Protein backbone atom coordinates (compact mmCIF):
# COMPACT_ATOMS: atom_id res chain seq x y z
CA UNK A 1 0.00 0.00 0.00
CA UNK A 2 1.12 3.52 -0.77
CA UNK A 3 1.07 6.25 1.95
CA UNK A 4 -1.02 8.59 -0.18
CA UNK A 5 -4.60 9.66 -0.78
CA UNK A 6 -5.91 9.65 -4.34
CA UNK A 7 -8.72 11.82 -5.74
CA UNK A 8 -10.28 11.53 -9.19
CA UNK A 9 -12.38 13.84 -11.33
CA UNK A 10 -15.28 11.42 -10.76
CA UNK A 11 -15.16 12.32 -7.05
CA UNK A 12 -13.61 9.05 -5.90
CA UNK A 13 -11.12 9.02 -3.03
CA UNK A 14 -8.76 6.23 -1.98
CA UNK A 15 -6.60 6.18 1.15
CA UNK A 16 -3.42 4.10 1.04
CA UNK A 17 -4.19 2.49 -2.33
CA UNK A 18 -2.35 -0.43 -3.81
CA UNK A 19 -0.15 0.01 -6.86
CA UNK A 20 -2.80 -1.88 -8.83
CA UNK A 21 -5.46 0.67 -7.85
CA UNK A 22 -3.22 3.58 -8.89
CA UNK A 23 -2.42 1.84 -12.17
CA UNK A 24 -6.08 1.17 -12.91
CA UNK A 25 -7.11 4.76 -12.19
CA UNK A 26 -4.37 6.32 -14.33
CA UNK A 27 -4.97 3.78 -17.10
CA UNK A 28 -8.64 4.66 -17.44
CA UNK A 29 -8.44 8.48 -17.55
CA UNK A 30 -8.94 10.40 -20.75
CA UNK A 31 -12.71 10.51 -21.28
CA UNK A 32 -15.17 13.30 -20.49
CA UNK A 33 -15.66 13.56 -16.74
CA UNK A 34 -12.64 11.37 -16.05
CA UNK A 35 -9.48 13.32 -16.95
CA UNK A 36 -7.35 13.48 -13.81
CA UNK A 37 -5.91 11.70 -10.82
CA UNK A 38 -4.39 13.57 -7.87
CA UNK A 39 -2.17 11.81 -5.33
CA UNK A 40 -1.28 13.67 -2.15
CA UNK A 41 0.80 12.86 0.87
CA UNK A 42 -1.54 11.97 3.70
CA UNK A 43 0.68 13.89 6.12
CA UNK A 44 0.81 17.19 4.17
CA UNK A 45 -1.68 17.20 1.28
CA UNK A 46 -1.48 20.90 0.38
CA UNK A 47 2.28 21.06 0.03
CA UNK A 48 3.19 17.74 -1.58
CA UNK A 49 1.23 16.16 -4.38
CA UNK A 50 1.55 14.69 -7.84
CA UNK A 51 -1.25 14.84 -10.40
CA UNK A 52 -1.93 13.77 -13.94
CA UNK A 53 -4.31 15.01 -16.64
CA UNK A 54 -5.06 13.10 -19.81
CA UNK A 55 -7.22 13.59 -22.90
CA UNK A 56 -7.56 10.47 -25.03
CA UNK A 57 -5.05 10.61 -27.87
CA UNK A 58 -2.74 13.13 -26.14
CA UNK A 59 0.28 12.73 -23.88
CA UNK A 60 -0.22 12.59 -20.13
CA UNK A 61 0.44 15.91 -18.37
CA UNK A 62 2.13 15.00 -15.10
CA UNK A 63 2.76 17.62 -12.40
CA UNK A 64 4.17 17.67 -8.92
CA UNK A 65 4.42 20.21 -6.12
CA UNK A 66 7.32 19.93 -3.73
CA UNK A 67 6.35 22.11 -0.78
CA UNK A 68 5.63 25.50 -2.35
CA UNK A 69 4.34 27.20 -5.50
CA UNK A 70 7.94 27.90 -6.54
CA UNK A 71 8.53 24.15 -6.61
CA UNK A 72 5.71 23.12 -8.97
CA UNK A 73 6.80 21.25 -12.11
CA UNK A 74 5.27 19.52 -15.13
CA UNK A 75 6.32 16.96 -17.70
CA UNK A 76 4.56 15.20 -20.56
CA UNK A 77 4.72 11.41 -20.86
CA UNK A 78 3.36 9.23 -23.66
CA UNK A 79 1.99 6.26 -21.67
CA UNK A 80 0.00 5.53 -18.54
CA UNK A 81 2.63 2.96 -17.50
CA UNK A 82 5.35 5.63 -17.45
CA UNK A 83 3.12 7.94 -15.41
CA UNK A 84 2.30 5.20 -12.90
CA UNK A 85 5.99 4.34 -12.51
CA UNK A 86 6.87 7.97 -11.67
CA UNK A 87 3.87 8.39 -9.37
CA UNK A 88 4.73 5.16 -7.51
CA UNK A 89 8.35 6.24 -7.01
CA UNK A 90 7.06 9.61 -5.72
CA UNK A 91 4.62 7.89 -3.34
CA UNK A 92 7.38 5.66 -1.98
CA UNK A 93 9.65 8.72 -1.65
CA UNK A 94 12.39 6.90 -3.52
CA UNK A 95 15.65 8.75 -3.99
CA UNK A 96 15.80 10.08 -7.55
CA UNK A 97 12.08 9.39 -8.10
CA UNK A 98 11.89 12.33 -10.52
CA UNK A 99 14.69 11.14 -12.84
CA UNK A 100 13.62 10.52 -16.40
CA UNK A 101 10.86 12.96 -17.35
CA UNK A 102 11.82 16.37 -18.76
CA UNK A 103 10.42 18.51 -15.92
CA UNK A 104 9.67 22.21 -16.45
CA UNK A 105 8.91 24.62 -13.62
CA UNK A 106 5.42 26.15 -13.72
CA UNK A 107 5.03 29.79 -12.75
CA UNK A 108 1.89 31.02 -11.04
CA UNK A 109 0.87 34.65 -10.55
CA UNK A 110 1.99 35.86 -7.09
CA UNK A 111 -1.59 36.64 -6.00
CA UNK A 112 -2.89 33.22 -7.03
CA UNK A 113 -2.05 29.98 -5.20
CA UNK A 114 -1.35 26.94 -7.36
CA UNK A 115 -4.36 24.79 -8.09
CA UNK A 116 -5.04 21.49 -6.39
CA UNK A 117 -6.29 20.05 -9.65
CA UNK A 118 -4.35 19.97 -12.90
CA UNK A 119 -3.06 23.40 -13.93
CA UNK A 120 -3.96 22.90 -17.51
CA UNK A 121 -1.97 24.56 -20.21
CA UNK A 122 -4.67 26.63 -21.94
CA UNK A 123 -3.08 25.97 -25.33
CA UNK A 124 -3.38 22.19 -24.84
CA UNK A 125 -6.70 21.90 -22.99
CA UNK A 126 -9.96 23.71 -22.56
CA UNK A 127 -11.95 23.60 -19.33
- The parent domain of residue 47 ranges over 4-105
Classify residue 54: in a domain, yes or no: yes
Contacts of 53 (CB under 8 A, 6+ apart): 29, 35, 36, 60, 61, 63, 118, 120, 125
pTM here is 0.83
Classify residue 21: in a domain, yes or no: yes
Classify residue 40: in a domain, yes or no: yes
Quote helix, strand, coil % in the chain, to nearest 5: 20, 30, 50
Percent with pLDDT over 90 in the chain? 72
Classify residue 121: in a domain, yes or no: no
Classify residue 73: in a domain, yes or no: yes
Classify residue 111: in a domain, yes or no: no
Taking 70 as the pLDDT cut, the residues of the chain under it are 109-127
Classify residue 70: in a domain, yes or no: yes
Q: In 3D, which of 51, 63, 5, 58 has the Cα closest to residue 26?
A: 51
126: left (phi over 0), alpha (psi -120 to 50) or beta: beta
Classify residue 113: in a domain, yes or no: no
CA distance 12 to 72: 24
pLDDT at 45: 74
pLDDT at 115: 61
* Total domain count, the chain: 1
Amino acid sequence: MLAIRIHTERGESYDRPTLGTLSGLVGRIGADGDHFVIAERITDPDAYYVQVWHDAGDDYQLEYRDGSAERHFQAFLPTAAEVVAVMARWARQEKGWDAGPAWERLDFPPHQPPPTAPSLDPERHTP
